[in-house]
Amino acid sequence: MAATGVEIRIDNLHKSFGSRRVLDGVNLEVLSGEMIAVVGGSGNGKSTLLRQIIGLDHPDGGRVLVADHEAKDSALVDLATLKTAGMESLERHWGVVFQGNALLSGQTVGFNIGIALREVQDLDEATVGTRVQNVLREVALDPDKDIALTTDQLSGGMAKRVAIARALALDPIQVFYDEPTTGLDPQVSEKIQDLIGSVHRGKTASGAARTSFIITHDKEMLFRLQPRVVMLDAGRIVFDGTYEDFGRSDAPAIRPYFDLMPKLQQYAGGSASAASR
């Protein structure tokens, strides 16, 4: 655990694209072992915030500090001060599940999961093979049958499980999810929600608690997993609290969005429906 008990600290974060202000002075702390869900209408800064936290974009103003679990007492470090080696130190303890899964097209399940183990952690082939089989079991896939399937042979639910398995293979302390149930039918979504909960409750090989950061429109996920809920509206945080309080709020920025969440979740995924597994 980070010495301060804080995994992520965001100080007065600003980000614009041209004349459009997407993040407008965001302040947020994510505690060690916490599950946090960031919600809000499309275009209100959710994915932009995630990209800032994992270093894919850089802020126009403010700071993003993340716990470095290879530093003394897992000290918080400012992403803006890091060079390549410093970012790699952080990334070795991250797992990222992208909205579209970001699996390598035409490659096998085993290759997709193992590539980060080879490139990020520089593990030998025997260790990679064992780790891949273990995480496939953790996400309820069959390592004997499913490891050789290619991406075009996977249902939507299976592809999401493979994406989560790839993140888990790195034994991450921090796990980031970008709309993990988008495009999945309700039955498959429920299974992925359960899997996210199970991953969060599990600990790393060193015994560290996991911190989960989820971007979502999925009201059912919030109800079932009961994370801390943070809502962005016009680039600012307008709610930070429990799901129960979020659902009871009559605030003008919150109530219409809360009622519209099922439609937004369906719209975000288009008409795609995934086979249940």
How far apart CA 5 and CA 74 sit, in angstroms, is 9
> What residue segments make up the domains of the chain, in order of their start?
1-93+173-183+211-268
**Is the model's pTM score more than 0.95?**
no
Residue 186: the pLDDT is 87
- Architecture per CATH, 1-93+173-183+211-268: 3-Layer(aba) Sandwich (3.40)
In this prediction, residues 217-223 reach a mean pLDDT of 94
Residue 276: the pLDDT is 32
In this prediction, residues 128-137 reach a mean pLDDT of 92
Residue 271: the pLDDT is 38
Q: Rounded to an integer, what is the distance from CA 148 to the centroid of its chain?
A: 26
Q: Could you report the per-residue pLDDT of 196-219, keeping only the tens digit for each?
A: 999 999 999 889 999 999 999 999
Residue 277: the pLDDT is 36
With 50 as the cut, is the pLDDT of residue 273 above it? no
CA-wise closest residue to 232 among 242, 241, 223, 240: 240
Tokens of 88: 């790699």
pLDDT band of 267, cuts 50, 70, 90: low
Residue 274: the pLDDT is 34
pLDDT band of 42, cuts 50, 70, 90: confident
With 70 as the cut, is the pLDDT of residue 275 above it? no
With 90 as the cut, is the pLDDT of residue 82 above it? yes
pLDDT band of 264, cuts 50, 70, 90: confident
Question: What are the DSSP calls for the chain, one per residue?
Answer: --TTSEEEEEEEEEEEETTEEEEEEEEEEEETT-EEEEE--TTSSHHHHHHHHTTSS--SEEEEEEE-TTSGGG-EEEGGG--HHHHHHHHTTEEEE-TT--PPTT-BHHHHHHHHHHHTS---HHHHHHHHHHHHHHTT--TTTTTT-BGGG--HHHHHHHHHHHHHHT--SEEEEESTTTT--HHHHHHHHHHHHHHHHSB-TT-PBPEEEEE---HHHHHHH--EEEEEETTEEEEEE-HHHHHH---TTTHHHHHHHHHHHHHHTTT--PPP-
Residue 66: the pLDDT is 97
